[in-house]
Amino acid sequence: SFVLEGVLSQQLLPRKDGSGRVMAVEVMVPNPAIRNLIREDKIHQIYSLMQTGQNKFGMQTMNQSLSDLVIRGLITRDEAIGRSNVPDELIAMISRGGITGGGTR
C-alpha cells in the first residue's frame, strides 16, 4: 500500500449524439485511510471512501462519472446504467441531479 500512487479505471462510451466516444473515469487516490484499508485487507470499504473523497482528494467513483456524463447530456441514461456495477445507486444519483450520498457532485 505504500508504493501505490493511484488507480484509474476508464471506459469509452458512445456519445449520445453519435459523434464518437466519451470517457467515463474512476479515480482512487491512496490517502492514509485507503492505505490502511489495503493493509488490513478491508478492500470492500474503499468504495465508500472514494465516494466521500471526491472534493478533498480528487477521487470519483465510476457511478459519479457516469452520472455526470448523463446530466451533461453526453451519454444516454440507458448506456450509463448498462455500464454501472451498482445500477441502483446510479439511478438514484441521476434522479438527484448527480448529488452523491456525501453531498458532492
pLDDT in tens, 80-103: 999 999 999 999 999 998 665 544
Work out the percent of the chain whose per-residue pLDDT is above 70: 91
Which residue matches cell numbers 488490513? 40
CATH 3.40.50.300 is the classification of domain 7-95: yes
pLDDT, position 57: 81
User: What is the pLDDT averaged over residues 1-25?
Assistant: 93
pLDDT at position 103 is 44
What CA–CA distance (Å, rounded) separates 53 from 13? 25
For the chain, give every domain's residue range: 7-95
| pLDDT at residue number 51 | 85
CA 36 to CA 26: how far, in whole Å?
A: 20
Confidence category of residue 53, pLDDT binned at 50, 70, 90: confident
pTM: 0.84
